[in-house]
A and B are shown apart, each in its own frame.
Chain A
């Protein structure tokens, strides 16, 4: 059977776009190897000093640990909330479902800067009540990140529920399983993959969140993106290039592993 394939013009244009997409990711590699203390191209000599400064400068390590802590807590919170909500939607199909889901998705649709102002308002108000939960605290950041990631977690879990065969649940119900048993022993084992994906995506989104974080932190809760931002605004620190190279390599590896896994699952 003949198929409709892109012609030479399409291919050339696509290659140009692909180069455009990859160019800035490749550009950070030479910069990260410069021996200079400023952002320049290396001339002749190469150096790993900026990679070393990532390990030796305690600020980088501290912010990485903080970002991991915030990511884990906010991902746990948003996955748990998204899971219970989605189970409620799927098992009981209540009225007004569309409106409620729409409400839950709002933080994903509203311009991030407006969410940032909103969360700034929230955390500065909370600061008056409790000092470890408000503005510029790691718990405050974790909660704000949950607000931003919970719509994504909900979408992923709802999608994996929509692929589940309702008759499994009906059978469990007919055999006398309680709501709790249906949820934990019948439905959840069948959407494991969706739940794990939701938790991972929430973690990644929190790990790289910057728009909201800028509004709700100042000197105490310096996450990794916040520290990068500070290094980018003032005097550009080539250590950021070294860090970017590492992050890009991790991303490529994760995507490669994922594509191998999905390909293996697709093959019988």
Chain B
């Protein structure tokens, strides 16, 4: 036999480079961050104590959870509406819906946040237009506040919320829907009592993905919040670069990872990973 490599060595040789790369460039430095959280500025649990007692940190955590919850509800609802047409519409409707989902999906987060600035800022499209028709005299504050952050984040997350929903709607047996209609159920009733319950796994998956993504969001809140509605990720950035307090930044990171990990574990108890794509 020419195949001199045993299966085990072959597998090891092929898989080692990536595993080694990630251990050195990801796992090891992550442990370093965990170490920071226990040793900077002084060894001990001081940073975690500060997390619990510092009112600023607390208010940022609460704001992050609130924004993430609102964004999740908005994104999943909006994604549901467009996914119905993407999956069940006529061929032309499908192409149009796909275009509207995929084009924003592939455009960078910065460009999209900038587009919202162009729309919502004091001299942006919406304020200019509302003033020119005389509807308002002073520009509305639509950006550099929580409203702007929620709009921008929902816009970013809708395409991500679409995929689990689409997967659930595609695997649904159409005959059940036709049967409901055939038995005299109205469109509305079929939708609410048959269609929605049958896509439950998609809704859970989509909500979980949106919520988890929202928790660690950085770019959109930083641009559209204008420093006024700081979320966890921006707080970490500020603690590391502006008021050098690496220990607290690291401790917040560790708490965020643990929280997200717990949420994911919860998700996979209810939904199989395959149902998410």
Contacts and interface: CB of A to CB of B under 8 A. Distances in A.
Interface residues of B, number: 96
A89 B19 CA distance: 12
A108 B36 CA distance: 23
Interface in A80-134: 80-82, 84-85, 87-89, 91-92, 94, 100, 103-104, 106-107, 109-122, 125
Interface string A1-15: 011111101110110
B256 interface: yes
Interface in B76-95: 78-79, 81-82, 84-85, 88-90, 93, 95
A115 B28 CA distance: 12
Interface in A1-54: 2-7, 9-11, 13-14, 16-18, 20-25, 27-28, 30-31, 38-41
Given A5-B89, A28-B118, A244-B114, A94 B128 contact: no
Nearest to A115: B26
B48 interface: no
Given A6-B84, A114-B256, A122-B25, A91 B114 contact: no
A21 B155 contact: yes
A241 interface: yes
B236 to A, nearest CB: 5
A174 to B, nearest CB: 11
B89 A119 contact: no
Contacts of A70: none
A4 B19 contact: no
Given A21-B104, A252-B103, A255-B103, A91 B178 contact: no
Interface string B1-42: 111110110111111011101100111111011001000000
Instruction: Name the residue among B118, B123, B155 with the largest chain A CB count within 10 angstroms.
Output: B118
B84 A14 contact: yes
A125 B108 CA distance: 30
Contacts of B253: 113-114, 117-118
A112 B232 CA distance: 12
A224 to B, nearest CB: 9
Interface string B58-82: 0000000000000000000011011
B240 A117 contact: yes
A169 B237 CA distance: 49
Given A103-B22, A225-B108, A89 B256 contact: no
Contacts of B216: 111-114
Given A92-B7, A125-B32, A241-B118, A208 B108 contact: yes
B178 A4 contact: yes
A28 B18 CA distance: 41
B110 A94 contact: no
B18 A104 contact: yes
Nearest to A77: B21
For the complex, would chain B's binding face be called helix, strand, loop or mixed by DSSP majority?
Answer: helix
Contacts of B128: 40-41
A106 B26 contact: yes
B81 A13 contact: yes
Contacts of B191: 10
Given A89-B15, A251-B106, 19 more contacts: A6-B85, A11-B89, A14-B85, A17-B78, A20-B155, A39-B117, A94-B15, A107-B22, A113-B218, A113-B232, A117-B250, A118-B33, A119-B25, A150-B22, A177-B3, A178-B5, A211-B218, A241-B118, A255-B106
21 contacts: A13-B81, A17-B78, A20-B155, A24-B155, A25-B107, A28-B118, A40-B123, A89-B15, A109-B260, A111-B257, A112-B216, A122-B29, A147-B21, A210-B110, A228-B110, A236-B117, A247-B107, A247-B111, A251-B106, A255-B102, A259-B98
Interface of A: 2-7, 9-11, 13-14, 16-18, 20-25, 27-28, 30-31, 38-41, 80-82, 84-85, 87-89, 91-92, 94, 100, 103-104, 106-107, 109-122, 125, 143-144, 146-147, 150, 154, 173, 176-179, 183, 204, 208, 210-211, 214-215, 225, 228-229, 232-233, 236, 240-241, 244, 247-248, 251-252, 254-255, 259
Interface of B: 1-5, 7-8, 10-15, 17-19, 21-22, 25-30, 32-33, 36, 78-79, 81-82, 84-85, 88-90, 93, 95-104, 106-119, 121, 123-125, 128, 155, 158-159, 174, 177-178, 181, 187-188, 191, 212, 215-216, 218-219, 222-223, 232-233, 236-237, 240-241, 249-250, 253, 256-257, 260, 264
